DNA sequence: ATGAAAGCGCTAACAC
DNA sequence: GTGTTAGCGCTTTCAT
């Protein structure tokens, strides 16, 4: 059951049927209706593989994320999928936990001739040059001339740190992820900006964006002599590990330790009096990323733009009311 | 850059190059190597759209879930994607929150000629008949002759209920999701089996698998005269709402209320002394689903099998030590 | 074991 | 406006 059948059923030529169903070019209103009815009667469904092959437009968009077990990416993916579906695209998803996997994923995606790629870079130095437009989401790679949609993490973590300073904290540690991720650097930069000019020593622990590191780093912090009174976790995963460590070590939040984090998973609200955190506008970021991508499909050589969106602060009792 | 170029570069015929690269049919070892080298030199990447069009094998597998913001489905999707990638397939994902969306999603997927569909049914009565094999995951639709991979929820919830009975509870409410989901019915059935033959009254609240319902149902339960001493939530989302209600109403777990749930999101461990729950072997379910699907690709008319896997119980202090 | 040729379903270019 | 035709890149069949 193909276009040819529809054309026959409608008593029109092959091309007219095509033009009608993909509405391009002129078709007389009457003919148009006849074709549409015929298609309907036969239950015609276009073959996107064939259409894509011929037109070089697969109507497939790829999403390349480190791990969509991570609720953060899951929510982002869902938002992207929603936008895309409304525009008649399908989402094809690939995950990559390291540079090698990422390269493989990109090549595999290229084989399907995806129209565009939304990428959360895993290896920021990977040369992901492909023939379709790419937009980076959340993090930024080191590639020049790639559009990106980010959150203003720097300001967010500056604010988080300032709130801690206001409450009298002078020993504040920050646990971040991979040293080569823009998100680690930006978030740490916000922290450093806040303590610059004060006598508060900088203590940033680089590791990786997962709970194992959150737990380990927290233990490290408490095994040191210097008595840290506040910890900032750069991601919910890190926060999860840090919280686990506190529970196991009998450290109470906020009594023994002030705590702040990033994003807003549901469990933040259930943990004690809630966790203070900086929350990125994930859905909007996703929407804008799709927007940028489709823009570039229309005009492939428009200037690559970097969009940085502001986030908001989620209140929560975890930073306490201030030091005695 | 296409097969033709590779063939030319290798100095062989078009078809020989194809046979080599998709290793089907006879190719002499020497020729083979020449083709492989040529492909490598040119950085040849096959066009899967073209291959799929011709061979009716797109190497695309679709995943149809209600919502992958839901960590449960996210983890399942990740597991499926992992299996598939190793087998050279790509995953194309669609979500549907109701029957209409589900139907649209299936039709759209069909247009891409996916080789198979892994489906978590949203509308159990939707006639999802398509030309490719389908396997149902986690829930089962009402369609006959569709293979499914499920968890033995009934036994799991029976055990959960029994643990509560053993601790002396006689007023146990169960909050489940949609009335027409097999998961609601099976989980409720486990609960009923456990209380059958005791004087414990059955109290099952049907609603939907989300936190709003969890919260609302919990409030309902506490507004009634009868004094419920234990609640079983049929999903983590429901649990999340129930817990939120308890926090707001000042109900302490396990002192005022024993609580049990399903699955094992990370926050269960942070909530008080942990939440007792029944945990499905999600990764294995995903693996088996892929297995079944690919089996049916080989032999489309093998008998549809329903696989029911056992789960395990996660300990947790939320069910307390027993009534005084 | 290999090359030549047909054709998957569609779009786009062209003639009428 | 509409029909006809070529051809996207590949697999598959059929000679050889």
Nearest nucleotide relative to B16: CA against C1': C2
Please, what is the end-to-end C-alpha distance for chain B in angstroms?
A: 78
- CB contacts < 8 A, A to B, total 124
Please, what is the end-to-end C-alpha distance for chain A in angstroms?
A: 78
Identify the residue whose tokens are 């290896």: A123
Task: Find chain A residues with C-beta within 8 A of B45's C-beta.
Answer: 107, 110-111
Identify the residue whose tokens are 């049916």: B296
Q: Are residues B92 and A265, on separate chains, in Cβ contact within 8 Å?
A: no
Q: What average pLDDT does the segment B277-293 reach?
A: 97
Q: Are residues B49 and A69, on separate chains, in Cβ contact within 8 Å?
A: no
Kindly tell me if the per-residue pLDDT of B238 is higher than 90: yes
Domain with CATH 3.40.50.2300 in chain B: 55-151+282-311, 153-280+313-319
Please tell me if residue A112 touches chain B, with a CB cutoff of 8 Å.
Answer: yes
Name the pLDDT band for B300 (thresholds 50, 70, 90).
Answer: confident
Indicate the helix (H) or strand (E) that contains A318.
none
β-pairing, B312-314 with A312-314? unpaired
Q: In this predicted structure, what is the pLDDT of residue B10? A: 93
β-pairing, B230-233 with B258-262? parallel
C-beta contacts of B192-198 below 8 A and 24+ residues apart:
B193/B154, B193/B158, B194/B157, B194/B158, B194/B159, B194/B161, B194/B162, B194/B165, B195/B161, B195/B165, B198/B165
| B164-CA/D4-C1' distance, Å | 76
Q: What average pLDDT does the segment A167-194 reach?
A: 97
User: How many angstroms separate the CA atoms of B147 and A78, rounded?
Assistant: 27
Residues 283-322 of A with CB under 8 A from B: none
Residues 175-204 of B with CB under 8 A from A: none
* Range picked from A153-167, B3-17, B66-80 for highest mean pLDDT: A153-167
- The helices-and-strands tally (H runs, E runs) of chain B is 12, 12
Please tell me if residue B270 touches chain A, with a CB cutoff of 8 Å.
Answer: yes
- What is the DSSP secondary structure assignment for residue B18, as one 8-state letter? H
User: How many angstroms separate the CA atoms of B249 and B259, rounded?
Assistant: 15
Write the CB contacts of B101 (distance below 8 Å, at least 6 apart in sequence): B95, B122
Nearest nucleotide relative to B56: CA against C1': C8
Q: What average pLDDT does the segment B220-239 reach?
A: 93
Please tell me if residue A266 touches chain B, with a CB cutoff of 8 Å.
Answer: yes
Please tell me if residue B251 touches chain A, with a CB cutoff of 8 Å.
Answer: no
Please tell me if residue A261 touches chain B, with a CB cutoff of 8 Å.
Answer: no
Closest CA to B236 of B269, B268, B193: B268
Task: Give the tokens for residue A287.
Answer: 């929407």
Q: For A247-293, how does the pLDDT look when each residue is reduced to its tens digit (9 = 90+)?
A: 999 999 999 999 999 999 999 998 989 999 999 999 999 999 999 99
How many angstroms away from the CA of B200 is the closest CA of chain A? Answer: 31
Write the CB contacts of B250 (distance below 8 Å, at least 6 apart in sequence): none
B153-280+313-319: which CATH architecture? Answer: 3-Layer(aba) Sandwich (3.40)
Q: For B190-212, how does the pLDDT look when each residue is reduced to its tens digit (9 = 90+)?
A: 999 999 989 999 999 999 999 99
| B130-CA/C7-C1' distance, Å | 25
B201 touches strand D (CB under 7 A): no
β-pairing, A60-65 with B90-95? unpaired
Kindly tell me if the per-residue pLDDT of A176 is higher than 80: yes
Residue A50 CB neighbour total at 10 angstroms:
17
User: How many angstroms separate the CA atoms of B270 and B290, rounded?
Assistant: 33
Q: For A47-105, how does the pLDDT look when each residue is reduced to its tens digit (9 = 90+)?
A: 999 999 999 999 999 999 999 899 999 999 999 999 999 999 999 999 999 999 999 99
β-pairing, B134-137 with B148-151? parallel
Per the CB < 8 A criterion, the answer to whether B319 and B258 are in contact is: yes
Helices (H), A43-152: 48-55, 71-86, 99-111
Q: What average pLDDT does the segment B237-250 reach?
A: 95
> Would you list the DSSP string of B29-90?
HHHHHHHHHHHHHHT----HHHHHHHHS---EEEEEES-TTSHHHHHHHHHHHHHHHHTT-E
How many angstroms away from the CA of B45 is the closest CA of chain A? Answer: 6
B49 touches strand C (CB under 7 A): no
Give the residue whose CA sits closest to C2 at C1': B16
Nearest CB to A52 within list B49, B71, B77 = B49
Q: In this predicted structure, what is the pLDDT of residue A237? A: 96
Residue B60 CB neighbour total at 10 angstroms:
25
Please tell me if residue A282 touches chain B, with a CB cutoff of 8 Å.
Answer: no
Kindly tell me if the per-residue pLDDT of B162 is higher than 80: yes
**More confident position, B226 or B34:** B34
Please tell me if residue B130 touches chain A, with a CB cutoff of 8 Å.
Answer: no
- CATH top-level class for B55-151+282-311? alpha beta
Q: For B94-141, how does the pLDDT look when each residue is reduced to its tens digit (9 = 90+)?
A: 999 999 999 999 999 999 999 999 999 999 999 877 899 999 999 999
User: How many angstroms separate the CA atoms of B115 and B63, rounded?
Assistant: 11
Q: In this predicted structure, what is the pLDDT of residue A151? A: 98
- Determine the residue among B48, B91, B240, B263 to mutate to test chain A binding: the one whose Cβ has the most chain A Cβ atoms within 10 Å: B48
Please tell me if residue B69 touches chain A, with a CB cutoff of 8 Å.
Answer: yes
Q: What average pLDDT does the segment B29-37 reach?
A: 93
- CATH top-level class for A3-46? mainly alpha
| A178-CA/D3-C1' distance, Å | 61
Q: How far are the Cα atoms of A66, A151, A288 from residue A308, in angstroms, in the given order?
A: 21, 5, 10
Q: In this predicted structure, what is the pLDDT of residue A232? A: 98
Identify the residue whose tokens are 């050279």: B88
Residues 30-49 of A with CB under 8 A from B: 45-49
Q: Starting from the edge strand earliest in sequence, which strands make up the sheet with B276-279, in order? A: B204-205, B172-175, B230-233, B258-262, B276-279, B312-314
Kindly tell me if the per-residue pLDDT of B236 is higher than 90: yes
How many angstroms away from the CA of A181 is the closest CA of chain B? Answer: 23
Domain with CATH 1.10.260.40 in chain A: 3-46
User: How many angstroms separate the CA atoms of B276 and A282, rounded?
Assistant: 32
Q: Give the chain A residue nearest B265 (alpha carbons).
A: A267
- Determine the residue among B113, B266, B273 to mutate to test chain A binding: the one whose Cβ has the most chain A Cβ atoms within 10 Å: B266
10 Å CB burial of residue B41 (0-12, 13-18, 19+) is exposed
Q: In this predicted structure, what is the pLDDT of residue B25? A: 82
């Amino acid at each position: 059951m193909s276009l040819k059948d529809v054309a026959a059923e409608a008593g029109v030529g092959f091309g007219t049927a095509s033009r009608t169903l993909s509405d391009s070019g002129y078709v007389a209103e009457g003919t148009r209706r006849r074709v549409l009815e015929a298609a309907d009667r036969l239950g015609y469904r276009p073959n996107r593989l064939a259409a894509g092959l011929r037109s070089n437009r697969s109507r497939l968009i790829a999403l390349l994320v480190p791990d969509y077990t991570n609720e953060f990416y899951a929510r982002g993916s869902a938002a992207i999928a929603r936008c895309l579906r409304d525009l008649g695209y399908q989402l094809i998803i690939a995950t990559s936990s390291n540079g090698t996997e990422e390269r493989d994923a990109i090549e595999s995606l290229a084989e399907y001739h995806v129209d565009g790629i939304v990428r959360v870079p895993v290896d920021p130095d990977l040369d992901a040059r492909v023939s379709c437009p790419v937009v980076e989401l959340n993090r930024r790679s080191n590639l020049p001339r790639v559009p990106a949609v980010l959150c203003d993490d720097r300001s967010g973590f500056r604010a988080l740190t300032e709130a801690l300073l206001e409450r009298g904290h002078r020993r504040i540690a920050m646990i971040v992820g991979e040293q080569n991720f823009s998100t680690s650097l930006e978030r740490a930069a916000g922290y450093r900006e806040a303590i610059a000019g004060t006598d508060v020593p900088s203590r940033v622990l680089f590791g990786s964006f997962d709970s194992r590191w959150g737990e380990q780093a927290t233990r490290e912090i408490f095994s040191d002599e210097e008595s840290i009174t506040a910890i900032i976790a750069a991601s919910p995963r890190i926060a999860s590990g840090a919280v686990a460590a506190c529970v196991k070590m009998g450290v109470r939040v906020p009594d023994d330790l002030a705590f702040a984090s990033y994003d807003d998973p549901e469990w933040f609200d259930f943990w004690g009096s809630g966790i203070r955190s900086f929350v990125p506008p994930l859905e909007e970021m996703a929407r804008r990323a799709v927007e940028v991508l489709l823009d570039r499909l229309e005009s492939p050589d428009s200037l690559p733009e970097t969009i940085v969106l502001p986030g908001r602060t989620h209140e929560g009792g975890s930073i306490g009311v201030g030091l005695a």
